[in-house]
């Protein structure tokens, strides 16, 4: 079995800037682009199921660990923002009828949901995203597709050749570099190439990195680590632990199976090229509901405190929705 795990918002942004379309005065770039991209992916990889993960907002614990985390993302000057949001809502209402399994939960980021899908899905998983944080998920049965002019598929066989180190070193590498897009501070002077150089065969730990670093960089890394900023960055970047209830959210996703609602959706927006490109039913009708290993668990007790609630309150939110 093969499951495609889609970074929903990432795909929507790519569609927004890849297409410039409107129909009867309203922007349709995102809705059209996402459908085209999904059809291309399904036709190319022939998955048994597709899981579309939406971003539900930033969980509190990441902001507590790194106060600057995603704090400057404002859209006040974006004139097309309202139309963009309207198209996201349209897609959210339509995708389950295209045979796409949809997952969204308030307070849980798409990265957490995708990592949970990668851990729980039965069979192989291809994660579709441009977010490098998700490269940490690469494993024997999990690969990451970075779409672009030339798609790049990261798997265990080519990961070190493409990145310079192994998947289990990715979290430390990202924590050392920091992430300007997510506003996670890192060590000054350490970028992707330097991180790859430091994380050699023997550098699977901070001690190994320090041993491989020059005296000047060793001093910077030591200060960064002693300040607690390295440990906090690792906690923020690491998707291996379910700190937000992502596993339960994945199990609670919704799926309707293909229906003619998709054809009507395309017809109402003038997507004649999508309708003419091939049978919508043949493409999306072949998609089934994904299968997950039901090994979901409530996060460890110490994680409840990150939400400023008691254990009992957290359990109630966790099981009943946020």
pLDDT value, residue 314: 58
Statement: residue 319 has pLDDT above 70: no
- Per-residue pLDDT averaged across 184-208, rounded? 84
Count CB atoms within 10 A of the CB of residue 313: 12
Strand partners, 129: none
CB 115 within 8 A of CB 239: yes
Model confidence at 64, pLDDT cuts 50, 70, 90, reads confident
pLDDT value, residue 153: 96
CB 141 within 8 A of CB 124: yes
pLDDT, mean over the chain: 87
Distance CA 156, CA 151 (A): 17
- Per-residue pLDDT averaged across 32-59, rounded? 94
Please name which of 133, 35, 30, 131 lies closest in space to residue 85, comparing C-alpha atoms. 30
Model confidence at 126, pLDDT cuts 50, 70, 90, reads very high
Statement: residue 320 has pLDDT above 60: no
Taking only the tens place, the pLDDT of each residue in 140-156 is: 999 999 998 889 999 99
Model confidence at 304, pLDDT cuts 50, 70, 90, reads very low
Residue 123 in tokens: 């069979």
Model confidence at 322, pLDDT cuts 50, 70, 90, reads very low
Backbone torsions φ then ψ of 192, nearest 5 degrees:
-55, -45
Count CB atoms within 10 A of the CB of residue 201: 9
What are the structural domain ranges in the chain? 2-159+241-320
Q: 2-159+241-320 is classed in which CATH architecture?
A: 3-Layer(aba) Sandwich (3.40)
Write the DSSP string, 239-259: -SS-SSSHHHHHHT-B-----
Distance CA 256, CA 209 (A): 49
59-73, 169-183, 302-316: range with lowest mean pLDDT: 302-316
12-21, 219-228, 239-248, 307-316: range with lowest mean pLDDT: 307-316
pTM for this one?
Answer: 0.88
Model confidence at 201, pLDDT cuts 50, 70, 90, reads low
Name which residue leads in pLDDT, 322 or 313. Answer: 313
Residue 89 in tokens: 């809502």
Statement: residue 252 has pLDDT above 50: yes
DSSP code for 300: P
């Amino acid at each position: 079995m093969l499951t495609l795990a889609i970074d929903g918002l990432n795909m929507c942004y790519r569609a927004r800037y890849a297409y410039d379309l409107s129909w009867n005065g309203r922007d349709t770039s995102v809705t059209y682009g996402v459908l085209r991209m999904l059809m291309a992916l399904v036709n190319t990889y022939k998955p048994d199921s597709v899981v579309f993960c939406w971003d539900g907002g930033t969980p509190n614990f990441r902001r507590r660990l790194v106060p600057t985390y995603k704090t400057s993302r404002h859209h006040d000057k974006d004139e097309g923002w309202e139309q963009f949001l309207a198209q996201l809502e349209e897609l959210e209402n339509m995708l389950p009828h295209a045979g796409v399994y949809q997952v969204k939960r308030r307070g849980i980021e798409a990265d957490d949901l995708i990592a949970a899908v990668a851990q729980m899905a039965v069979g192989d998983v291809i994660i579709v995203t441009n977010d490098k944080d998700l490269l940490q998920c690469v494993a024997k049965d999990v690969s990451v597709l970075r779409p672009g002019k030339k798609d790049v598929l990261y798997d265990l066989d080519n990961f070190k050749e493409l990145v310079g180190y192994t998947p289990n070193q990715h979290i430390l590498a990202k924590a050392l570099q920091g992430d300007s897009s997510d506003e996670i501070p890192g060590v000054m002077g350490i970028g992707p190439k330097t991180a790859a150089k430091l994380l050699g065969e023997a550098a699977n730990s901070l001690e190994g990195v320090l041993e491989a670093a020059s005296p000047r960089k060793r001093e910077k890394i030591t200060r960064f680590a002693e300040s607690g900023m390295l440990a906090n960055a690792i906690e923020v970047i690491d998707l291996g632990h379910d700190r937000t209830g992502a596993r339960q959210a994945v199990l609670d996703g919704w799926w309707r199976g293909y229906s003619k609602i998709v054809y009507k959706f395309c017809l109402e927006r003038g997507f004649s090229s999508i309708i003419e490109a091939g049978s919508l039913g043949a493409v999306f009708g072949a998609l089934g509901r994904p299968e997950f290993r039901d090994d979901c668990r409530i996060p460890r007790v110490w994680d409840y405190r990150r939400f400023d609630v008691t254990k009992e309150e957290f359990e109630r939110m966790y099981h009943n929705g946020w």
